[in-house]
Amino acid sequence: MPRVNEICRYIRSKNAGPFWITVDLFFKDRSSFDLYSRSEALSAGRLAGIFGVPEDSVKWFAVPDLNVVKFSYPRTAPQGGMIERDMHGGQQFARLLEIVA
Amino acid sequence: MTRLTNTVNVIVPVGALGTGVRASNLEEGLALGADAIACDAGSTDSGPAYLATAQPKYSRDAVKADLRLLMLAQAKARIPLLIGSCGTSGADAALDWTRDIAIEIAREEGLSPRIALLYSEQRPADMAAAAAAGAITPLAPMTTVDPAMFAACDHIVALMGPEPYVAAIEAGADIVLGGRTTDTAVLAAIPLMKGADVGSAWHAAKIAECGGLCTRNPREGGVLIRIGTEAFEIEPLDAANVCDPYSASSHMLYENSDPFHLVEPGGILDVTEARYRAVDDRVVQVRGSRFDPRPYTMKLEGAAGGPFQTIMLVGIQDPKVLGEIDRFLAQMQEMMTARIYAVLGKAIGDFNISLRAYGWNAVSGTTVAPPATPPREVGLLFVATARTQDLATLIAKTCNPLFFHMPLDREMELPSYGFPFSPAEIERGRVFEFKLNHVIRVDDPMALVRTVMIESAEFADAQG
């Protein structure tokens, strides 16, 4: 099975305000979107585990018109605090690249 | 496809004032027939310092260059110019900073616009009282409304909707400079004022909020939005740029935790049923956007200064150290902490030492799974955090010998890691923190807003 970074055209993460990070996975085509959007590997529960947040705090969306899976999760500390490693949340997508459906 | 007629047209020249307005974009937008020019000048996205200090993020010269082009276009076309979230945070001092630039430009260019200033900063004590009175509710992930949280903020701003902008234009303003405003409200204000379709106005504003980011080539300038009676269109201002259904609809995802709904002060934009169609090879038409009215709320943003930090940086190339970097870092953390207590005692109080290995796991902060190995060089950042700058520096100086010379194993010769600077320690200043993620209910969209109307020429004279 291909990895996420092989079947996505583009994957990005970014702040959605100071308290949330949102991640967009743009799949190359409908068949890979269909496969991965229904896969346990990209379920809210699995993603919550990867980012260390409670499952019920994850907002998860399929956007079929764009072949996109989008999810958002709360930051463990608000943006810009004492131990900020990624001010804009722009590097958090990298944890997803090796996922296999 | 049939083009929309009788639209209200807004030039959105740039995603943020100060990032580079193109004069050619304004000419193109005016030639297409614009009813207003609108853009945003702020955000929380750059971090809490800008709100906590009310200092702008962009340089005065960069903001002035953009504002000059916009003011000249406004004067030439005699259409309103609306700018939201002035000075990054939209705090009162940041708005005044922008006002002074506008006055200076007016004087230099011989312009005399009527300028409305919309202030939406709130006094922490007032917001603490509102919290105690039950007018404020938290937004996830926050769950509490402790009045003390509000009182602890250095600056609090309430995000305005379009109503204060509409009121200012109706009162005769040529230019409106707003404090903190939702990105969308400043773009939607004129279409809403002129009776365009409400859902379309809000949706178009959301798509255009970052200027050209909804086009195929975001570096090629801004966009024009045309709001009709039941749909809207979006087109790039640069003739060579392209907006297509994919680039436009993808923008609903951007910096937005929900791709279908956007909460605004007086309701919720719902784009679940919206359909994007290409009018031609560079213009997109959108139908089916809805706006569901809700009781009026304003989001509150608040920030404050926290503890202080002093940092040091070394570069490490030693392959033995890099070969066991996790053990090395754990040992350094342990030895530094022990050294602080040995030298400074318990009197040091709360402090934090954070070691971040760039090239290894500084950004993620998580354990690196094998078989990954570090690259040829790693940059190691030391961050001491303490309640005063002096204490943070004291900690850094106390840790300096370990940071410089700690060997991987005790019996080894003393290594020297590569400091790039002298002195080694850098006083970084305060940590700033966002404190609020709340909304306040108001009966009137103007209740927390103070409008000041100035005649720029007279104001300049009064200032001398």
Separation CA B398–CA B390 (nearest Å): 12
CB of B358 less than 8 A from some CB of A: no
**DSSP 8-state class, residue A3:** B
pLDDT digits 0-9 by tens, B372-402: 999 999 999 999 999 999 999 999 999 999 9
Q: Give the DSSP letter of residue B418.
A: B
What are the pLDDT digits (tens) for B198-249? Answer: 999 999 999 999 999 999 999 889 999 999 999 999 999 999 999 999 999 9
CATH of domain B303-434: 3.30.70
pLDDT of residue B248: 96
The half-sphere exposure of A47 on its side-chain side, counting CA atoms within 13 A, is: 30
pTM, two decimal places: 0.96
The HSE-up count of residue B82 (CA atoms within 13 Å, CB side) is: 34
Query: Which of the residues A11, A13, A19 would you substitute to probe the B interface, choosing the one with the greatest number of B C-beta atoms within 10 Å?
Result: A19
Please check whether residue B101 is in contact with residue B67, taking contact to mean a CB–CB distance below 8 angstroms. Answer: yes
Residue A16 in tokens = 């959605």
Contact B447, B440 (CB under 8 A): no
Looking at residue B339, what DSSP letter applies? H
Q: What is the ipTM of this complex?
A: 0.96
Identify whether the C-beta of residue B332 lies closer than 8 Å to the C-beta of residue A54: no
Separation in Å, CA of A91 to nearest CA in chain B:
8
Cβ-count burial of B428 within 10 angstroms (0-12 exposed, 13-18 middle, 19+ buried)? middle
Q: pLDDT grade, residue B462 (50/70/90)? A: confident
Q: Do A19 and B141 touch (CB under 8 A)?
A: yes
| B415/B412 Cα distance (integer angstroms) | 8
Residue B38's DSSP bridge partners are B82
Specify the pairing of strand B450-455 against strand B261-264.
Answer: unpaired
Separation between Cα atoms, residue A64 and residue B52, nearest integer Å: 40
pLDDT of B336 above 90: yes
Give the count of alpha carbons within 13 A of B401, CB side only: 6
- Confidence label for B346 from pLDDT (cuts 50, 70 and 90): confident
If you count residue pairs, one on A and one on B, with CB atoms under 8 Å apart, how many are there? 98
Predicted confidence (pLDDT) per residue in B38-56, tens digit: 999 999 999 999 999 999 9
Residues in chain A with CB shorter than 8 Å from the CB of B276 are 65
- Read off the pLDDT of each residue in B419-423 and give the average, rounded to a whole number: 98
**Residues of chain A with C-beta less than 8 angstroms from the C-beta of B142:** 19
CB spacing of A79 vs B306 below 8 angstroms: no
Boundaries of every domain in chain B: 8-120+159-296+444-462, 303-434
CB A79 to CB B249 under 8 A? no
Question: Does B354 contact chain A (CB < 8 Å)?
Answer: yes
A74: chain B residues, CB-CB within 8 Å = 140-141
Angle of the B92-109 helix axis to the B456-463 helix axis, nearest 10: 100
